[in-house]
Amino acid sequence: MKEYFYNLMPEKVLEFFYELSQIPRGSGNEEAISAWLGGFAADRGLEVTRDEYNNVIIKKSGTPGKENLPTVILQGHMDMVCEKNKDTVFDFETEPLKLEIDGDFIFAQGTTLGADNGIGVAMILAVLYSSDLVHPPIEGIFTVDEERGLTGALNLDVKGLKGSYLINIDTENDKEILTSCAGGVRINHKIKIKTIKRPEDFQCCEISISGLKGGHSGMDITKGRGNANKLMARVLDAIRQEMKMHLISVSGGSKDNAIPREAQCRMIIDKKEKENLELILKEYHRYFTLEHGESDPVIKIQREYVFDPCTEIMDRQTTDKVIDLILVIPDGVLSMSQELIGMPVSSNNIGIVDTEDGNVTVSSAARSSVDSKKIEIIDTMKAISRQLETVFGMQGDYPGWSYSPQSPLREHAIMTYKDLFGEEPEVVAVHAGVECGILGEKIPGLDMISIGPNIYDVHSPREKLSITSTKKTWAFLKEILATIK
C-alpha cells in the first residue's frame, strides 16, 4: 500500500499524506509529528521553529524573481480527531492508520482518516519540498490541538512572521473559497454522584443507542443527524416516568466537536417492569426512526440484562439531575442567518457524556458567528448550572473570522479559479472554527482565505478523501502562488 501512494498523483502531496498517517497525531499527542516536521525542515536546510506547545513554523525563500514579493503564509493543523467504530480494535496513541483506496477515495480501516487536516499539511510540505514550483516567500505554519479548541493557534507567537497573505488549507469542498467562520467555546458541566445501596428485587441492565452517522459538529450540524446523548436522555426520561429506576453510569461520544454516534447507560429497574421497559424501548425506536429516517436510517436501541451485583447506584436526586441536565442543554442549530440561506448563526453540540471518578461530566461545543449569540449560549448554560447545581467550566474560547469587504487575495483566488476551471467558485462562510479567526486577530490586516479538497464524513470512521479533488486543489494552490503579486 505504501508503494501505491508513492505513485499517486499529485506527486509528493499524497506521498506526504501517507507518511503523516503513519505517525500517531491525535489532539494532545503531537510530540512525534511535531518532531518529524522539524526534521523535515532541517534535512532540507529550511529555517524552522518549534515552540513549547509543539507548533512548528517553517520558512522558505521565494523562487528567482519572486524573492521580494509579499510573503504568503500557508497554514494547517497537524492534529486529527480520533474516532473508531465500536468493533474496531485500534490504539490511536501508538498505531499508524491503516489506509485503503477504493476507486477515487482514500479511507482508513474502521477509524477516522485524518484528512482533516493531514491533506492540508501534506500540500504545505509539498510546496516547501519543491524545487520547481514558482512561489513568493513562504511561511508554513503547522499548529497543534486545533480539534479540541484551537489552542495551538491561540498560543502561537507570531512576532517573527512577515506574511501579508494567509492561505489556510482546511476546508472540505473544492468548489468553495472560505472567507469567514464561526467562533466557539467548550462548555463543561460536572455533577457529583451521590450513591445508595441497590434495593432488593431490582434488575441491572444496560441500554445502548448506536447506528447514527455522527459527523462534524459545525459542518454537519444542519443535516438533522441524531445526537446519541440527547436520544439517550429522552429514553431515560421516559423510563423514569413509568417506573422506579436508578442510574449507575451513562456515557456517549468521545469528542465535543463530533456529533456522537453512540451512547450507553447502565441502570437498575424493578424486576416486575421488564415488559414495560421493552415497550418503552420499542416505542422510542419507532419515534427515532420517524424523526431521523433520512439522516440516520439504521438507528439501534439495544437492551441487555446484566447479572452483576451493581451494589452502588446513583440516588434518585442524582439520577434525575443527570437526565435533566442532558435534556435541557440546547443541542443542534439554535439560530439561522437572515442573510445567508442555510447558514447557521449559532449552535451547540452535546459531544461527550462520561461517568468517571464519582462524577458525571457533560461537555458541549458551542459555536456562533455573532459574539452576542455565543454569549447567549454561555448565559443559558450558566443558568442551567445554577438551577441544577453543577460545577460549570469553559475552555478554548476562540474568535470568529468576519468577512472582509476588501480582500486582494480573495479576488485573486476567484480569478485564478475561473481561469483554471472555467467556472465561478462559491465564496462561503462556514459554521465551524477555523484558525484564521485567531491568526487574523494576532496579525492585524492579514488578508486570508481557506481552501481544500473534497473530504466526506469528517470526524467519523466513514471519513474519505477524493484523489481527483486533491489533484484539483493542488493545481489551484500552485497557480495562486505562481501568479500572486
Angle at 320 between CA 273 and CA 347, to 5 degrees: 115
Instruction: Read off the C-alpha cell for 376.
Output: 447567549
How many CA atoms lie within 13 Å of 386's alpha carbon, on the beta-carbon side? Answer: 6
Is 146 annotated in the active site?
A: yes
On whether the CB atoms of residues 374 and 366 are closer than 8 A, the answer is yes
Instruction: Read off the C-alpha cell for 71.
Output: 510573503
Q: Which helix (H) or strand (E) holds 364?
A: strand 359-368
Residue 284 CA to residue 277 CA, distance in Å, equals 11
Is 79 annotated in the active site?
A: yes
Residue 16 CA to residue 34 CA, distance in Å, equals 14
Pick the catalytic residue from 15, 79, 220, 463: 79
Residue 428 CA to residue 180 CA, distance in Å, equals 7
Largest CA distance in the chain: 84
Upstream peptide bond of 117 is cis (omega within 30 degrees of 0) = yes
Angle at 113 between CA 107 and CA 117, to 5 degrees: 130
Task: State the DSSP string of 144-194.
Answer: S-TTTTSHHHHH---TT---SEEEE---S-TTEEEEEE-EEEEEEEEEE--
Which amino acids are annotated catalytic? Answer: 79, 146
